[in-house]
Chains A and B, each alone.
Chain A
């Protein structure tokens, strides 16, 4: 993965309690089947996309897509 620090997307930790945040994301999906997970994630992505704005969004899309090469 590109090791760039010049973009708007944060690549270092920005969560006060990372274990809590991670757990909260996972827990939010707990009783959902695959279709519901997809619906939930789509809502979450749209909410976050609007909040972070164009620049971070496009960088995050590119960064996430880049990691898909290993998936």
Chain B
């Protein structure tokens, strides 16, 4: 089943089995989307890592398919995003249906003037394949397939990880262990850490099919369609002419019955008409949970992605949230390992990403409640909203079929320097993600391409005078003219932003002040 050809990545006998190896600064568990992204981000900062995975291939099934702009910007720093955009499907139009009638269409390309689109649909196995390819050409990353973690023992200055391979067991010493091993995290289980949260009972059916006849080009969401009259259906495209059809089944559905090809085909036939032809790619019946660990950092063991927090699929906040986690973590971990920051800097990873997870869980729970109302009045308001949407534009804004992933706010983080100036009309405040814009002569380049690997001081000016007083560890970028960048940053000559390595704003001022920049950088690195 399926058109994707799964490569089996080679297992190599680890040096530790023959008395070699040695202590590693970072060991990462899990070669999903987050683990290899973390390894590449660390490698960019000169930190070597080992990635352990019990399997030897990429994601089975398309799983997390909506890759958000913020994730693409992160992957672009390792040179893999253009491959993803090229292979994937860039979202353009969406349409929402009630019963058999379209209610309204919406543009999924929110605004021009960004290097990357808001979303690209690409199966998780391609994302992982491209990340693995990049890791395999990166000398500081070692991917170890068929290496299963079986024990984790914290020792004072690190962690001893016991690993099982086809050739036997070995122990790997690590200064830091990062668990990116998914919702059923082995590391979390081994350390016996709780995973509190809420269980949802509605069942959903994913049917990935490869259409052999004409494809609908747009994303579609139906409430009560004729081919599935009691619930909702979401349809969107992926690479290779594959369609994701997501049927809400309700809490009482029989998963085995629903999964039968003849039952799926019956629904699809009603959906696509008598002439459509397709092949099945992947089928999965799922329920979901919203959970979050109380702390993401436990001594020298750090949790990221689904291992640390998990949301419903509505809004594409799982995979994209995981990528944002490891981007937040990589620069902090590299600084702590390089003794450029105290270990307490990692507390901010926990507080910032827990705030992000809370925001994602809130959004995803609200979408879930809209799509699967839990009590009669909730359903009445949901249906009333749908009924009003065709004629009353305000009601369209209330329809919540998934609030799509955008960078979360980490306002109030101890790393931020709050605004002193009070005359900001807009622009990303401290704690918000930076915004891309075309820059340079006639908008010939993108702001995201001008940023440094570490901190960036973004200084707006009338003239291209050299920047003096940029602290070590920061790159100075002078922005002259450039209407859209000025507008997005509410900038005047003198306006200065300090942007963190993970591209969140740490501080901003109305005038360039080297001493203030230095102080804000010390604060943003836990040295304040």
Contacts and interface: CB of A to CB of B under 8 A. Distances in A.
Interface in A18-71: 38-39, 41-43, 45-47, 50
A59 to B, nearest CB: 19
- Among B380, B387, B388, B392, chain A packs the most CB atoms within 10 A around the CB of B380
Nearest to B378: A42
A38 B376 CA distance: 9
Contacts of B383: 39, 42
B17 interface: no
A60 B188 CA distance: 46
A47 B380 CA distance: 14
Contacts of A50: 392, 394-395
B387 to A, nearest CB: 6
Interface residues of B, number: 13
Given A47-B388, A47-B392, A42 B380 contact: yes
A71 B384 CA distance: 25
Interface string B394-414: 110010000000000000000
A41 B381 CA distance: 9
B385 A46 contact: yes
B396 to A, nearest CB: 11
B15 interface: no
Interface in B366-398: 376-377, 380-381, 383-385, 387-388, 392, 394-395, 398
Interface residues of A, number: 9
Nearest to A38: B380
A38 B385 CA distance: 13
A39 B379 CA distance: 9
B-side interface mostly: helix
A37 to B, nearest CB: 10
A46 B394 CA distance: 9
A46 to B, nearest CB: 6
Interface string B207-228: 0000000000000000000000
Nearest to A42: B384
A-side interface mostly: helix
A46 B380 contact: no
A5 to B, nearest CB: 29
Contact of A46 (B376, B377, B388): B388
B380 A39 contact: yes
Contact of B388 (A38, A41, A43): A43
Contacts of B377: 38, 42
Nearest to A44: B384
Contacts of A47: 388, 392
Nearest to A37: B380
Nearest to A40: B384
A54 to B, nearest CB: 12
A38 B384 CA distance: 9
A46 B398 CA distance: 10
Nearest to B382: A42
B354 to A, nearest CB: 28
A38 B380 CA distance: 7
Contacts of B380: 38-39, 41-42
B98 to A, nearest CB: 14
Contacts of B376: 38
Contacts of B392: 47, 50
A43 B394 contact: no
Contacts of A46: 381, 384-385, 388, 395, 398
B62 to A, nearest CB: 36
Contacts of A38: 376-377, 380
A64 B213 CA distance: 55
Contacts of B394: 50
A63 to B, nearest CB: 18
Contacts of A39: 380, 383-384, 387
A47 B395 CA distance: 8
A60 to B, nearest CB: 15
Contacts of B388: 43, 46-47
A50 B392 CA distance: 10
A47 B385 CA distance: 9
Contacts of A41: 380
Contacts of B398: 46
A50 B385 CA distance: 11
A39 B388 CA distance: 11
Nearest to A43: B384
A48 to B, nearest CB: 11
Contacts of B387: 39, 43
Given A38-B377, A43-B384, A47-B388, 5 more contacts: A39-B383, A39-B387, A45-B384, A46-B384, A46-B388
22 contacts: A38-B377, A38-B380, A39-B384, A39-B387, A41-B380, A42-B377, A42-B380, A42-B381, A42-B383, A42-B384, A43-B384, A43-B388, A45-B381, A45-B384, A46-B381, A46-B385, A46-B388, A46-B395, A47-B388, A47-B392, A50-B392, A50-B394
In the complex, the 3 A-B pairs of residues with the closest C-beta atoms, listed nearest first: A42-B384, A50-B394, A43-B384
Interface of B: 376-377, 380-381, 383-385, 387-388, 392, 394-395, 398
